């Protein structure tokens, strides 16, 4: 555990607590609450005579059925004897459980840099080795570098699209190429789809598991935290190859016994509201995204803003010799605005900063970006 990095979000949250009034552009959450159908299902949970008892490790049947319908209708992914569906206490647990299921100590998992820090942490906790492959200048996949990173110890390649922390959306052709490489080399393809509904400017989300003959090597991870405002309710799910079912059962029985059942009931209600609920609220996020982009343009050549057509992040590159964490600390202490340093995502050189706008509305975005731009203008001149 001494080799595992300290999670950055609690560090930034502590900075914010010490400076009341700070506007957070740090943690990746949405501005809205869960749909009313979720609340109605909680009332049903409270009336159920045995609801407070343990439930199946993989999830209550009603929610398994609801997730199966969602995958078939929205992602074109069949749930059948070739795979197994598990409800988890958030998709972080789904990822960590998958890593434990497929690795022995010393095995390698390929992550794209910048990576999602909890993914890198989970691989390290499993006593496996994260192999970091740099992305291209626009944070897109470097397919040649990924292929070159495969060794006899490699067990899986991880992709996230739409991406956290970069906001990049990977083209279907690139995800097909990664999945084909995994099939060719006997590897697993772990694909994180937590931000599937958050795409802009014509970008399209693609699920690799929708392709024929991929069930045996493709793991698909999903979350309700973003799309349905479920962050603290801790519901995600994983679709894994059938041969991993026994291992996943062992791991999840140990880690969670079962995902919080009250939240599973609420999740059924959320899925009843459906993707229409999310898309209605995406209109405000689109407006906020435009405000953020306009504000960032005022910094001119002080920063570089790689294209980000998904999730609700921009991972900007600031032209400064200051360490990124020092920039973050000064922005909070002197300007009342918080971002996340790129160093938390494996970027060892330069000063990258992740800006999260999902929690903002048009009103809060204007003030938050004013503080950020004013602060960066002063800091980046030094």
- The CATH code for residues 37-273 is 3.40.640.10
pTM: 0.96
Q: Is pLDDT larger for residue 202 or for residue 9?
A: 202
Give tens-digit pLDDT for 233-292. 999 999 999 999 999 999 999 999 999 999 999 999 999 999 999 999 999 999 999 999
Across the range 324-350, mean pLDDT stands at 95
CB-CB contact of 188 with 218 (8 Å): yes
- Whole-angstrom CA distances from 14 to 17, 37, 323, 334, 336 are 5, 34, 19, 15, 13
The tokens for 276 are 């229409």
Which pLDDT does position 27 carry in this prediction? 84
Which pLDDT does position 26 carry in this prediction? 86
Res 69 pLDDT > 60: yes
CB-CB contact of 190 with 161 (8 Å): no
Across the range 373-380, mean pLDDT stands at 94
Across the range 22-35, mean pLDDT stands at 93
Give tens-digit pLDDT for 323-333. 999 999 999 99
Alpha helices in 320-361 (DSSP H): 324-335
**For the CA atoms of the chain, what is the radius of gyration?**
20
Give tens-digit pLDDT for 29-40. 999 999 999 999
Which pLDDT does position 363 carry in this prediction? 87
Counting residues of the chain whose pLDDT is more than 90, the rounded percentage is: 95
Res 228 pLDDT > 80: yes
Which pLDDT does position 9 carry in this prediction? 87
Cβ neighbours, 10 Å, residue 285: 23
- Give the span between the Cα atoms of 296 and 313, in whole angstroms: 13
Which pLDDT does position 314 carry in this prediction? 97
Phi first, then psi: give them for residue 256, nearest 5 degrees: -135, -10
Hey, which of 41-55, 165-179, 368-382 has the most confident mean pLDDT? 165-179
Res 382 pLDDT > 60: no
- Give the span between the Cα atoms of 340 and 27, in whole angstroms: 8
Res 65 pLDDT > 90: yes
Helix or strand (DSSP H, E) at 126: none
- Give the span between the Cα atoms of 28 and 191, in whole angstroms: 19
Strand boundaries in the chain, DSSP class E: 23-24, 83-88, 108-113, 129-134, 154-160, 188-192, 218-223, 236-241, 303-304, 313-318, 337-338, 340-341, 351-356
Residues in the chain, overall count: 382
Which pLDDT does position 213 carry in this prediction? 96
- The ranges of the chain annotated as CATH 3.90.1150.10 are 8-33+275-379
Tell me the torsion sign for CA atoms 325, 327, 330, 331: negative
**CATH fold of 8-33+275-379:** 3.90.1150
Res 381 pLDDT > 80: no
Average pLDDT, the chain: 96
Give tens-digit pLDDT for 188-216. 999 999 999 999 999 999 999 999 999 99
Tell me the torsion sign for CA atoms 168, 32, 273, 265: positive
Give tens-digit pLDDT for 94-149. 999 999 999 999 999 999 999 999 999 999 999 999 999 999 999 999 999 999 99
- The ranges of the chain annotated as CATH 3.40.640.10 are 37-273
């Amino acid at each position: 555990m001494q080799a595992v990095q300290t999670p950055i979000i609690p560090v930034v949250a502590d900075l914010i607590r010490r400076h009341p009034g700070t506007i957070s552009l740090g943690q990746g959450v949405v501005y809205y609450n869960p749909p009313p159908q979720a609340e109605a299902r909680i009332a049903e949970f409270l009336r159920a005579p045995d609801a407070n008892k343990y439930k199946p490790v993989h999830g209550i049947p009603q929610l398994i059925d609801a997730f199966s319908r969602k995958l078939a209708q929205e992602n074109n992914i069949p749930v059948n004897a070739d795979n197994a569906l598990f409800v988890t206490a958030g998709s972080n647990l789904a990822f960590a459980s998958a890593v434990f299921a497929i690795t022995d100590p010393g095995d390698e998992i390929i992550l794209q840099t910048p990576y999602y820090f909890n993914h890198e942490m989970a691989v390290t906790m499993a006593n496996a080795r994260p192999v970091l492959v740099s992305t291209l200048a626009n944070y897109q996949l470097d397919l040649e570098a990924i292929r070159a990173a495969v060794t006899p110890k490699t067990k899986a390649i991880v992709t996230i699209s739409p991406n956290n922390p970069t906001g990049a959306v990977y083209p279907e052709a690139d995800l097909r190429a990664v999945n084909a490489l995994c099939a060719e080399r006997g590897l697993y393809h772990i694909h994180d789809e937590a931000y599937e509904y958050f795409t802009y400017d014509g970008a399209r989300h693609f699920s690799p598991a929708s392709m024929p003959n991929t069930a045996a090597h493709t793991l698909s991870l999903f979350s309700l935290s973003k799309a349905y405002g479920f962050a603290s309710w801790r519901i995600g799910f994983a679709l894994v190859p059938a041969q991993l079912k026994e291992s996943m059962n062992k791991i999840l029985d140990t880690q969670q016994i079962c995902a919080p059942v009250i939240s599973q009931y609420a999740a059924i209600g959320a899925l009843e509201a459906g993707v229409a609920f999310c898309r209605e609220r995406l209109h405000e996020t689109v407006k906020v995204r435009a405000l953020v982009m306009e504000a960032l343009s005022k910094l001119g050549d002080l920063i570089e803003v790689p294209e980000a057509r998904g999730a609700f992040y921009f991972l900007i590159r600031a032209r400064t010799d200051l360490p990124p964490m020092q920039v973050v600390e000064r922005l909070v202490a002197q300007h009342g605005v918080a971002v996340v340093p790129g160093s938390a995502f494996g970027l060892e050189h330069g000063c990258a900063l992740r800006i999260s706008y999902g929690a903002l509305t048009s009103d809060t975005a204007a003030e938050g970006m004013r503080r950020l731009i004013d602060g960066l203008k002063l800091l980046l001149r030094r």
